[in-house]
A and B are shown apart, each in its own frame.
Chain A
């Protein structure tokens, strides 16, 4: 029997498009989301139950405000003032996501979604089973590698390492990364220095 995976909501959609979206959250919820993580959010207005956008976190921004700037200028931050900022004040945190796939009619597709997630839609971490299923194909590599204005190589490498971690068997993890490396070699055959850089990023630690 399959274990029921816990839903891990990390925030809500602030704004979005078919290519990506931005999720707002509070600073005290920042333990879960990380660079390269797979996330999902309901697609469109929810008329088709289960339709969702799947994306990768490529940036996490912690905004400032006049009070934070003043505290830094005063150069006397104490544990109490720090906790006050993080727990009581709504210090805004923005999580930027690039769309790499979507679920439509229970089918997983590695392509841009037909509709973006709407404002205030819940954004949650993809459960390990979803990451494993999603990464059985590598069509989403092209979406990431062709993206501009984001650290594409580092993002793809980080997401692959997280997807590998979702596999239980170390041999499966190794085989997955080798397979991903081969796909990267195919896609970046005309840019060997870039290929080397990405492969170095996903190489298992010695």
Chain B
């Protein structure tokens, strides 16, 4: 169950942080397709931040906005793409960009840690057309993981991929406990006593937390058919995880689930580096990694920015003699006027 053979109930103290490291973070945002809009489109925007830990220089920022409006993009099996499909494609783009940015940094300071917001264990449901799922999304996702793995295997080692899940509600370890035989004085205990209990209650309960600030749990492997597919593709890609108390010393516990592929889990030195660097990032921002907060800030598309984009599309259509349908369910003329925010400043940088 624990890939590194670590006792399940032990807490692992915060290792010393590497003096130098390269961290790459990615996050994404989107504008969903609106069937009532003047033009049918959806947009994804990916924000990437490259943080040179210990170098005392400004991080590098990258943005990758993409507008999709061709029939091949906005229709799937003859129907307009829904939000789930857009989310799935965006997640795949995020991991592509993360792998590309990590590859670009392959000769920078090690360890190299590529962090995505959300779980690494990504699977695509039946709502995605099978051909797209099996021929594009999942193979592309695996290849992005393998690209980071290749940095580790082919270059100087010490390259990790991380999925960061803030305030997890998962109950993987609790479900594992359900499989244990009952202790002598609890023979009548029913499995239902575990219902509704999440892992944070084990590791981060306020009164007597199993994990002190900065400590991590053992590494676990989630046993699921989905994870088995990763292992079937390549044993290096099977997803493992540990819980981390990201609170500052003296604060109440705050739990994150940190997912890493098996090639990282097998390398104790690399796990220690991930543990220390992720916690270090959380200390910068207070419980949550600074680089992910910044990647999110770069990526997010705000409401007023969507309105500005719609306005630009309207204008371009009119200039081309393709006036929007006046009879459609468009907003009224009053609602459709330019409504730039009256706020004097925005943190916008390109499209957010």
Contacts and interface: CB of A to CB of B under 8 A. Distances in A.
Given A67-B293, A74-B284, A74-B286, A80 B347 contact: no
Interface string B13-53: 00000000000000000000000000000000000000111
B334 interface: no
A84 B56 contact: no
A79 B51 CA distance: 12
Interface stretch (B57-65, B93-101, B106-114, B176-184): B57-65
Interface string A12-33: 0011000000001000000000
Nearest to B58: A83
B169 interface: no
A90 interface: yes
A80 B57 contact: yes
A90 B55 contact: no
Nearest to B59: A84
A84 B294 contact: yes
A79 B55 CA distance: 9
Contact of A92 (B293, B344, B349): B344
A178 B277 CA distance: 62
Contacts of A83: 56-59
Given A80-B59, A87-B58, A90-B349, A74 B344 contact: no
Contacts of A94: 344
B284 A78 contact: yes
Q: Which of B58, B61, B283 has the most CB of A within 10 A?
A: B58
Interface string A89-108: 11010100000000000000
Interface string A172-191: 00000000000000000000
Contact of B347 (A14, A79, A84, A89): A89
Contacts of A193: none
A81 B56 CA distance: 8
In which size bucket is the chain B interface? Answer: 20 to 34
Contacts of A79: 56-57
A73 B288 CA distance: 13
A86 B59 CA distance: 11
Contacts of A78: 56, 284
Nearest to B287: A74
A90 to B, nearest CB: 6
A143 B16 CA distance: 61
Contact of B59 (A63, A77, A88): A88
Contact of A71 (B56, B61, B248, B284): B284
Nearest to B349: A90
Interface string A43-81: 000000000000000000001010100110110111111
B285 interface: yes
B345 A24 contact: yes
Interface string B277-302: 00000011110001001100100000
Given A15-B344, A63-B345, A90-B347, A80 B55 contact: yes
Interface in A147-183: none
B316 interface: no
A87 to B, nearest CB: 4
A55 to B, nearest CB: 19
A73 B286 contact: yes
A175 B191 CA distance: 94
A27 B348 CA distance: 15
A14 B344 contact: yes
A178 B247 CA distance: 62
Interface string B67-103: 0000000000000000000000000000000000000
Given A24-B345, A92-B344, A80 B285 contact: no
A80 B56 contact: yes
A70 B290 CA distance: 10
B285 A70 contact: yes
Contacts of B345: 24, 63, 90, 92
**Which 3 pairs, one residue from A and one from B, show the smallest C-beta to C-beta distance?**
A83-B58, A74-B286, A92-B345
7 contacts: A15-B344, A74-B283, A76-B283, A78-B56, A79-B57, A81-B290, A92-B344
Given A80-B56, A84-B294, 7 more contacts: A15-B344, A70-B286, A73-B286, A80-B57, A86-B58, A88-B349, A89-B347
